[in-house]
């Protein structure tokens, strides 16, 4: 698989505070990476750094042939970074359809394809953002990111606060989205066992540094690293 995203020796944080001292990470086309770690270990900071919402002290971020390092957040979005933040940030005063058409860029992911992936959104297409349930808002946030036709999809705690049946639906959809080709994904998730079923590879962070990296299959066979670094053991 060809490499889509390359982060090299990234040192980043907020103000004068360094959260990521020296981050190097690569993702391939079609790859789903689960980003795990206890609270405050730098997971969201890494996502925000790819988006362009942190202070970069040194290092580079490359998306295919494009050097993202000097680009603003809006330029990174147009270059192929799709972001679903923990807060979702949908336009609450716009309808479901307007949320997506307002940001859409040409490509294989259009509104109709999102409706096929999330039929609930088709049913709610004339509803305003503030009229949706939490699960529907998350589907809309993902759908809106997809209509940007990104090369990298970044999701920060996409299942937080959602009912188990909605969580399963979202994770199944994310698997289909990434493996359709042309996109790689980084997913920050608290439910380690559920994300192992979806991810190809897992990275565990502690104090802004990668302390463990393995395939999902390896962690499913031996959960000792999950217990050591996350306090999570056994099976889901």
- 76-111 per-position pLDDT tens digit: 999 999 999 989 899 999 999 999 999 999 999 999
Average pLDDT taken over every residue of the chain: 93
Distance of CA 171 to CAs 155, 188, 217, Å? 11, 12, 17
- Give the pLDDT confidence score for residue 47 in this predicted structure: 97
Higher pLDDT, 161 or 35: 35
Distance of CA 101 to CAs 3, 48, 119, 152, Å? 29, 24, 17, 20
- Give the pLDDT confidence score for residue 57 in this predicted structure: 98
- Give the pLDDT confidence score for residue 1 in this predicted structure: 65
17: Cβ contacts below 8 Å, ≥ 6 apart: none
pLDDT digits (tens, 9 = 90+) for 41-63: 999 999 999 999 999 999 999 99
- Give the pLDDT confidence score for residue 180 in this predicted structure: 77
Provide the phi-psi class of 89: left if phi over 0, else alpha when psi is between -120 and 50, else beta: left
What tokens does 186 get?
Answer: 């980084």
pLDDT digits (tens, 9 = 90+) for 143-166: 999 999 999 999 999 988 888 888
pTM exceeds 0.85 for this model: yes
Domains located in the chain, CATH noted: 1-78+193-231 (3.40.50.300)
- Give the model's confidence band at 118: pLDDT under 50 very low, under 70 low, under 90 confident, else very high: very high
CA neighbor of 12 nearest in space, from 50, 58, 77, 76: 58
User: Percent of the chain scored above 90 by pLDDT?
Assistant: 79
- Give the pLDDT confidence score for residue 132 in this predicted structure: 96
Mean pLDDT of 200-214: 97
């Amino acid at each position: 698989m060809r490499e889509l995203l390359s982060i090299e020796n990234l040192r980043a944080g907020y103000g004068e505070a360094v959260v990521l001292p020296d981050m190097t990470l690569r993702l391939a086309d079609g790859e789903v990476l689960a980003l795990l770690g206890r609270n405050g270990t730098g997971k969201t900071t890494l996502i925000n750094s790819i988006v362009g919402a942190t202070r970069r002290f040194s290092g580079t971020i490359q998306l295919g042939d494009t050097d993202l390092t000097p680009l603003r957040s809006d330029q990174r979005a147009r270059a192929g970074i799709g972001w679903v933040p923990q807060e979702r940030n949908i336009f609450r005063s716009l309808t479901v359809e307007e949320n997506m058409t307002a940001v859409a860029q040409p490509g294989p992911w259009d509104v109709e394809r999102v409706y096929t992936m999330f039929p609930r959104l088709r049913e709610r297409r004339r509803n305003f953002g503030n009229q949706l349930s939490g699960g529907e808002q998350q589907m809309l946030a993902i759908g809106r990111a997809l209509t940007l036709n990104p090369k990298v999809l970044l999701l920060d705690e996409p299942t937080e606060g959602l009912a188990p049946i909605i969580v399963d639906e979202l994770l199944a959809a994310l698997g289909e989205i990434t493996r359709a080709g042309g996109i790689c994904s980084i997913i920050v998730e608290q439910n380690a066992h559920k994300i192992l079923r979806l991810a190809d590879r897992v990275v565990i962070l502690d104090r802004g540094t990668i302390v463990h990296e393995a395939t999902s299959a390896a962690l499913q066979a031996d959960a000792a690293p999950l217990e050591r670094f996350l306090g999570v053991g056994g099976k889901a």
